Structure 1
Amino acid sequence: MHEVPPWLWAAFAVTVGVALAVDLLANRRAHVIGLREAAVWSGVWVGLAVVFGASVFLVVGPTAGVEYTTAWLLEKSLSVDNLFVFALIFGYFQVPREYQHRVLFLGVLGALVFRGLFLAAGVAVVNRFTVVMFVFAAVLFYSSYKILTKEGDSVDPGRSIAVRLLRKVVPVRDDYAGNRFFLRENGRLVATPLLAVVTAVEGADLIFAIDSVPAVLGVSSDIFIVYTSNAFAILGLRALYFLLADLLDRFHQLSKGLALILALIGVKLALQASHEIISTGVPEVPSLVGLAVIVVVLATSVVLSVVRPAPSGADEAPSGRKP
């Protein structure tokens, strides 16, 4: 565990709170997010993440700085794969483009809360029961297999568990009513499809956490490192979606790169657990090596996607992890 001064936690909380408030005020009116606006906001979120990473490096130490950078880059790369699922959900529910930002904004708020809970629980379990790292490694190996085999491609977003539970609690009308989530019809409260979309996105993030939490715990078991890196990766997800929405199909090799990264993080977890439980003679993977591998694999996946475009009409795009 790293020695993190309380003021750095406070600085993180203030930065996130102010950034969310500014984003909300800037987009308080429903409108279509254009490429230029998405690029500006993506630059803002990446810039904040980089500046915070530099602060971690200077204040907490080089090791913590490398771990934060590795974890942030890992979560950022996994979030790109998640964009395909968001596109699937928006397409299924035919969400007007001007309402998509609000859906993703609420999805981010939910993700910040649930990821925090999952990560806190994961850190507590790993620090108390090291053997569970073998289980997390197995989860990552299976996730890698699912991505490579595109298992679950035919899943219907409208029949996800989260959406089905919502329909049991409140009736959901067929038509949108602006950016409203509820309205009254014939004296009863009904939900609009927009609430079903938010529910589907939140449900999808819970599924994403099955991969993301073990993966980031393979980088660090320090709650400050894993949560702040996750938070900054999640915060930039909305702008990244609008920036890449029309380009997603071009990154058809990304799924293979992400599968390889998850498998390698699984190996790192297994080696670390073996080092602590079985024998100190078992080598561990240094943090810098893990960071270098992620950078190389991601860069190679993007370059190959550009150099070798998918055949016209081929279903080569990364399918993501469906809810």
Structure 2
Amino acid sequence: MPELPVVFEVGTFIVLGIVLLFDLLLVVKRPHEPSMKEAGLWVGFYIALALVFAGLMFVFTGPEYGGQFIAGWITEYSLSIDNLFVFIIIMARFSVPRKYQQEVLMVGIIIALILRGIFIALGAVFIENFSWIFYLFGIFLLYTAYRQATDAGDDEDAGDNRLIAKLQSVLPMSQSYDGNRIRTVVDGKKVFTPMIIVFVTLGLTDLLFAVDSIPAIFGLTQSAFIVFTANIFALMGLRQLYFLLGGLLTRLVYLKHALSVILAFIGVKLILHAMHVNELPFINGGEPIEWAPEIPTFVSLAVIVLTIVVAVIASLIRSRVGGDTDDGAGNTGNTGNTGGQDSAGGTGSRGDSAVDPALDEAADEAGRKNPRRRA
């Protein structure tokens, strides 16, 4: 990759840090449910910011690395939207008050950024020193693609649920939320609120998605700078996108299949690249396999964009033809207001209850409709 000006790299992280900090302070200072207009403006701003950055990449590094950024950003954005499906289920499962869902989503995004940063650093080190890691990444992505297509992963879900059940049995916990607090006082004793379980669940979800997404983008570029910036831009605006898309999310029934195709494609690309730079002594005598083709960036970008466009159009056609009137994520997202929750989100209202069979049923329904992992 051409050497980027230090000012550009440092300036990029400073600008992104300021934007994320402003977004965080806005949530903390003014917890609310954003309107469609507000959410749309923020999503548009973040997408425009990513496209401006892509243009700068084209200027400073040329079309090859500019294309790598766009391909990586679109892939990570698609995987992040998949992550939103699971966030919807978490919100419904634990009846998070609608007013505080912004804060919960922001915490989830921050956890995701931290975890992905760690995985990116580790991945860059392994790639730099061990070319055979591409074989492992490729096989892992093929397995992930299969799991995505078949909705496998129940064992992981069971493990997560056991951990959450263990926390609930060990930690003294209130039966309802107290605003956005993690701890509250009940009968003179300090106890945790269900919000701590929500955060733990978000952390586990982010960890699983980071394990999937980092090998995928390393299949498109080996530049740690591109990998990290693509992940940041993909995660920025997810909070607003959650409120903007509403019921449309669960109507994208073919998104998981599109992601499966994309992951399988990148997995094959990684294995071909591993063969092209092969150093394993038991494969071709430790020599590179010359006939293994390298898939160009523009081909990867075309496959990714075409797959997502086809999946979205097919999903919307199926939704319209089937006359699907279910609100899907829209209902799920509004479950925090069930039963006349007060605007302050204090304890005692049915909308704040962390144990609501109706909400469990809604979450189960959302889980059957889409997600590759159920919370």
State the TM bucket, normalised to the shorter chain. over 0.9
Instruction: Tell me the residue number matched to 1:299.
Output: 309
**CA distance in structure 2 between the partners assigned to 1:137 and 1:321 by the alignment:** 21
**RMSD in angstroms over aligned alpha carbons?**
2.3
| Alpha-carbon contact 2:182-2:192 (below 8 Å) kept | yes
Task: String of CA shifts for 1:218-275, please: whole Å, max 9, x gaps.
Answer: 0111110100000110112111111122211211111111110000000110111011
Instruction: Tell me the residue number matched to 1:254.
Output: 255
Instruction: Tell me the residue number matched to 1:85.
Output: 86
Instruction: Tell me the residue number matched to 1:212.
Output: 213
Amino acid at match of 1:267: V
What number of residue pairs does the alignment pair up?
Answer: 322
**Counterpart secondary structure, 2:191:** strand
After TM superposition, the structure 1 stretch with the greater mean CA deviation from structure 2, 91-100 or 164-173, is 164-173
Query: Shift of residue 158 of structure 1?
Result: 7.4
| Alpha-carbon contact 1:219-1:287 (below 8 Å) kept | yes
1:18-167 to 2 correspondence within 5 Å? 18-27=18-27, 28-152=29-153, 155=157, 159=161, 161=163, 163=164, 166-167=167-168
Give the structure with higher Rg (CA).
2
Task: String of CA shifts for 1:125-178, please: whole Å, max 9, x gaps.
Answer: 1221111111111111111111111124694697264x4575477433221001
Distance 1:158 1:95, change over 3 A: farther
**Counterpart secondary structure, 1:30:** coil
**CA distance in structure 1 between the partners assigned to 2:250 and 2:291 by the alignment:** 45
Distance 1:70 1:169, change over 3 A: farther
Instruction: Tell me the residue number matched to 1:10.
Output: 10
| TM-score normalised by structure 1 residue count | 0.92
Please list every run of 5 or more consecutive structure 2 residues that lacks an aligned counterpart in the other structure.
279-287, 327-364
Amino acid at match of 1:149: T
Instruction: Tell me the residue number matched to 1:181.
Output: 182
Instruction: Tell me the residue number matched to 1:286.
Output: 296
Instruction: Tell me the residue number matched to 2:370.
Output: 318
| TM-score normalised by structure 2 residue count | 0.80
**CA distance in structure 1 between the partners assigned to 2:228 and 2:220 by the alignment:** 12
| Alpha-carbon contact 1:248-1:317 (below 8 Å) kept | no
**Counterpart secondary structure, 1:206:** helix
**CA distance in structure 1 between the partners assigned to 2:88 and 2:105 by the alignment:** 11
Query: Shift of residue 300 of structure 1?
Result: 0.4
Please list every run of 5 or more consecutive structure 1 residues that lacks an aligned counterpart in the other structure.
none
Distance 1:166 1:57, change over 3 A: farther
- Percentage of matched positions with identical amino acids: 38
